[in-house]
Structure 1
Amino acid sequence: MPPSPATASRSLLGRLDESEFTARHLRIYVTVLIGHFLCGFVINLTGVILPGVIKTFHLTSEAAGAFSSALFAGMLVGAAVAGTVSDRFGRKVPLAITVMVYAVFSLAAVFAPSFGTLVTFRALQGIGLGAEIAVVLPYIAEFVPSRHRGPLVTAATAAWLIGLPTAAAVGTAVVPAFGWRAMFVIATVPVVVGVFMLATLPESVRYLLRRGRTQAAEVVVGALCRGTTAPAQHAGPEPLAESGTLRTLVARNYVRYTIAIWFMEVCAGAFLYGLSSWLPSVLEKQGVDLLKSFGYTAIITAAGVVGALLAGQLINRIGRRVVLGGAFVLSGLFCLAWGTTAATAAVVILGSLATFFGSGLAGSTLFAYASELYPTASRATGLGWAAAWQKVGGLIMPVLVGFVLALHASQFLFFLLFGVISILAGIAALVATFETRGRTVEQITREIAGEEAASALTPARS
């Protein structure tokens, strides 16, 4: 007698979660990692090209802030929409399309004849960039073995963060010789990665099971997890639920955690994007040579990469709540200290510590947490809305900093803004985070829903 759909799903999910990390896992992971790195590179072009754009189009500080925010407005839309699309239509095709979208508008930006046209292309590019973030992390969380989920999601965030110092380093070599438009030429490379994704990536097993496509899921698991068997106690499939619905995120059992995630993401976005957009210009105003300011920015932001790489090990050992709360608070305190000095060594050291804890430990842990908190039916929607709120911070902060600088206010105010928002995010993390350490994504769903609801779970049908 063939196994029931629920038994088959439980077996496949058990094999997926308990598998060793195979060569096939690695090939898939490296492919999506390259796309995510390029996403970070393209987003973080702003700080590198902004001085050149200001000179080319004779921009005021307010207009320059608006240019930075246009990207995040597009990313907000892309993140919010793509999560819902991915939950309803799968992970693979939406992920590949998002990568190709931001590459195509990079090419369009190369030939932008006016500032208004450049802003428009950057906003449209932002839709693809925001959408990529909303899809790629749930995809990783759903196909890697459970014990590797935290480290691999945070490592993906580290790859994204590497895009920032890489953009600064490439800009140092390219912009003086070829101008700021050359950076957009480089940013067309992701179209190749998008095509490769379409040709090689498998669909998410959890998505296939929710659509009742058990045979397709068996093929994927067989290729990924040869020789593994399901543990008898595996939690099994999640409940049948409407895919990609915002109602799940604000339902009674989730609303507290959702509000906390959204608030932390606003603060994290304000910190990351406000700093990356304006730091070279602020250093230049302090008397640092433009090329040196690119170099210092690369060093400072590279510290965030180190923090993201360490985050995966820390969250598996001490949990998401402690890492989030402690890292955000420490980042805020280092920002306050950073604003009190103009000495080069102190600026680099304090800036590196602030980004190590803020963009690195806290920022990467926050995305890992958001990618595993919600049920499969709404996982990309949850991550998409979290990313969208991050872009709200990225939308507000560059404009706010632009106005602050236009008022010729004290440089300390610039760093005070970043310090306060980081400390507030840390408080939110400590009081309203659901600890997900050591649990499969199905176990997380059951614990939040409650055991009574869990007893009635059945596999989804197409």
Structure 2
Amino acid sequence: METYTIDDALTAMGFGKFQGLVLAYAGMGWAAESMELMLLSFLGPSVREEWNVSAENESLLSSVVFAGMLIGACTWGFVSDKYGRRTGLLCSTLFTSGVGFLSALSPSYLCLVTLRFLVGVGVGGGHVFTSWFLEFVPARNRGTWMVIFSLFWTVGTVLEASLAWVVLSSLNWRWLLALSTLPCFLLLPFFGVTPESPRYLCVQNRMSDATVVLERMANANQSALPPGVLTYHPETKGDHNTHSSENEYLLPVREKECTVDNAMSSKSGGIAALPELLSHKLLRSTLLLWFVFYANSFAYYGLVLLTSELSDANRSCTSGVIFEAHQKDANLYKDTFITSLAEIPGLILSAVLVDWFGRKASMWFMMFACCAFLGPLVLHQNELLTTILLFGARACAMGSFTVLCLYAPEVYPTSVRSTGVGIATAIGRVGGVVCPLVAVAMLRSCHQMEALMVFELVLCLAGAACFLFPVETKGRDME
């Protein structure tokens, strides 16, 4: 009897209308996460003025969001591997939209901190949108479509910067928080038509359900499935012997057909995935991904906060003069909007590099380039040069972040993909928790050189770590 795999079917159908709809839905979720994080550049200064909080409490407002994302990334990863990608998407979206709107009604600083922590838990599920989308994309052009998918993140950052510019000039931060939840609310009416990942269904031994999704995809794309019956080729116990290298383990299994029993399906995902992620076959990849996610999040979100802090620190620390509030606000909106636009050339750069030179080379090159752009900022620079250097650093940080979000789901097999990426993302959020202490608190204390040296060190170590990844996933089928 003829058989075919998920990758055979995706290759035969190509990227069509069906994947376009999946891209639009997942992209909206990705944009919603970027908006919730981008508003941190504006929320801290606004709350500081209204409630007269200290610099430490202002940085705490950003740190608690990332602390929540650390918990949420693990939680929603477990949920989506255990109960399905759709369940993870729905629960995280409902949670984020609800507590995000409530945070706009906060009567006190303490209440706002608590609710923003819960918002972080909700948006921690953003990585599930990435994994869900990539599981529908053929291997041969996955890199290109991941870059296009990442455009939604950039759209979210630019939209949030524009929204803040308009709202905060005439209203207050509460309106900004409320309006920033709109993308999450817009996702809910369309949830009923979103498909479950056929890869997840295969892992759960629901082959007939997976076939129905593939047939629906074929009809939408006006194409045909390969002849035969859908099969799934998981890792066999024989593949887990102590003599196999991590490189061999990470390569897709395509040579023989295995039977997936219900016992295996019931143990996939959740806590049961941890031993596999930390096994000697995946340990090197897992530990390196944890550190690179940490460094990338530390650098990217640090740059977002640096945009709102660096020019003001340059003025106040060198001259001792605090500018008028309205002048600082105008500069903040302008600089944040300009540096947000830097993500577009960053995505173009990653699109050029990722399929020409591979995932690993693209990441280390852009991390070292980001380090080079940040180097001159160790010393005080004028506003124009500061904006130009932050523009270049933000472009490289966004490019490396995009490639990393593509690489991580390609490394792990479907049975532990969301859990593995979720834990790596959670480790990355630790970088988000720490970076406000460097980008806000240290700059407010006029320790610009020390703060920038920390960013330089982290980026250099991350670039070196990319050399050590055991496998290149360019052109490789997802397991």
- C-alpha distance in 2, partners of 1:84/1:17? 29
The CA distance in 2 between the partners of 1:402 and 1:11, in whole Å, is 50
Q: State the TM-score, normalized to the length of structure 1.
A: 0.88
Alignment partners' CA distance in 1, 2:73 and 2:38: 17
Describe the SS at the equivalent of 1:263: helix
The alpha carbon displacement at 1:227 in A equals 2.7
Does 107-116 or 398-407 show the bigger shift?
398-407
**Structure 1: gaps (5+ residues):** 443-462
> Secondary structure of 2:342's match?
helix
The 2-side partners of 1:160 and 1:278 are apart by 19
Name the structure 1 match of 2:457.
420
1:82 Cα deviation from its structure 2 partner: 0.9
Structure 2 stretches lacking a partner, 5+ long: 236-259, 316-326
AA matched with 1:257: S
Q: 2:145 — aligned with what?
A: 152
Is the counterpart of residue 262 in structure 1 residue 282 in structure 2? no
Equivalent residue for 1:457?
none
Q: How does 1:96-115 map to 2 (within 5 A)?
A: 96-115=90-109
Q: Is the CA contact (8 Å cut-off) linking 2:438 and 2:451 kept in structure 1?
A: no
The amino acid of 1:282's aligned partner reads L
Question: Following TM superposition, by how much is the alpha carbon of 1:118 offset from its aligned partner in structure 2, in angstroms?
Answer: 0.1
> Which stretch shifts more, 289-298 or 57-66?
289-298
Shift of residue 169, structure 1, vs aligned partner: 2.0
SS at match of 2:233: coil
Q: How does 1:6-405 map to 2 (within 5 A)?
A: 8=3, 10-131=4-125, 133-225=126-218, 226-230=222-226, 237-239=233-235, 242-244=267-269, 245-287=273-315, 289-358=328-397, 360-405=398-443
What's the CA shift for 1:343? Answer: 2.2
Contact 1:12 1:230 (C-alpha < 8 Å) held by counterparts? no
1:71: how far off? 0.3
What amino acid maps onto 1:33 in structure 2?
Answer: G
Corresponding residue number in structure 2 for 1:455: none
The separation in 2 between residues aligned to 1:70 and 1:109, in whole angstroms, is 13
Letter in 2 for 1:302: L
Deviation at 1:307, TM superposition (A): 1.2
- Could you give the per-residue CA deviations for residues 42-80 of structure 1, whole angstroms, max 9, x where no partner exists? 121110121111111111111111111010011000001
SS in 1 for 2:403: helix
Q: Does the CA-based 8 Å contact 1:61-1:405 persist in structure 2? A: no
In the alignment, the residues of structure 1 paired with residue 132 and residue 351 of structure 2 have an alpha-carbon distance, to the nearest angstrom, of 17
SS in 2 for 1:143: coil
CA drift at 1:235: 10
Q: 1:191 to 1:264 in 2, by over 3 A?
A: closer
Q: 1:429 is matched with which residue: 448, 459, 466? A: 466
- Equivalence for 2:318: none
Quick one: distance in 1 between partners of 2:130 and 2:11? Answer: 16
Q: What's 1:456 paired with?
A: none
Supply the AA of the counterpart residue of 2:462. Answer: A
Please state whether the residue corresponding to 2:135 is helix, strand or coil.
Answer: helix
Q: CA deviation at 1:286?
A: 2.8
Per mean C-alpha deviation after superposition, the further-off stretch among 112-121 and 396-405 is 396-405
Q: Which residue identity is paired with 1:339?
A: V
CA displacement at 1:289 relative to structure 2: 2.7
Deviations 1:75-128 (A, max 9, x none): 000001111111111111211221221111121011100000000000001111
1:308, distance to aligned residue in structure 2 (A): 2.5
**Paired residue total:** 432
Cα drift, residue 362 of structure 1: 0.8
Instruction: State how far apart, in whole Å, the 1-side matches of 2:38 and 2:227 are.
Output: 44
Shifted more, 90-99 versus 364-373: the winner is 90-99
Equivalent position SS for 1:286: helix
Distance of 1:356 and 1:401 partners within structure 2: 18
Identical columns (%): 26
Q: Partners in 2 of 1:227 and 1:200 — Cα distance?
A: 20
